[in-house]
Amino acid sequence: MSVFVPMDKTEVLYHFLIVARFFFAGVSFSVYCRYHKLTSAYTLVGSMIYVFSGYALLTGIMRYFVIYHCTKSWLLLNF
């Protein structure tokens, strides 16, 4: 995806990917609950807990920050 985004907008792309990752995690959990024929209330509450749990937020957000800073320092060392 970074091929389609200018270099000065890569930070916006990272933020969009973080939000999209959480959105698709919630959608996939909702599809999984629908497959097991759970009611809408249980599906909604379960997907919100799944998406906004502390572990998901910590690993989802920190992953992109670590990749960004590692890549930035690697580029500075090579140039």
Task: Calculate the CA 70 to chain-centre distance.
Answer: 18
pLDDT at residue 1 is higher than 70 = no
Residue 55: the pLDDT is 64
| Tens-place pLDDT, residues 35-75 | 988 888 888 888 888 777 766 666 666 665 666 656 555 55
Lookup result for tokens 């990749």 = 67
Burial (CB < 10 A; 0-12, 13-18, 19+), residue 10, is middle
Domain boundaries in the chain? 8-78
pTM of the model: 0.60
Cβ proximity of 10 and 2 under 8 Å: yes
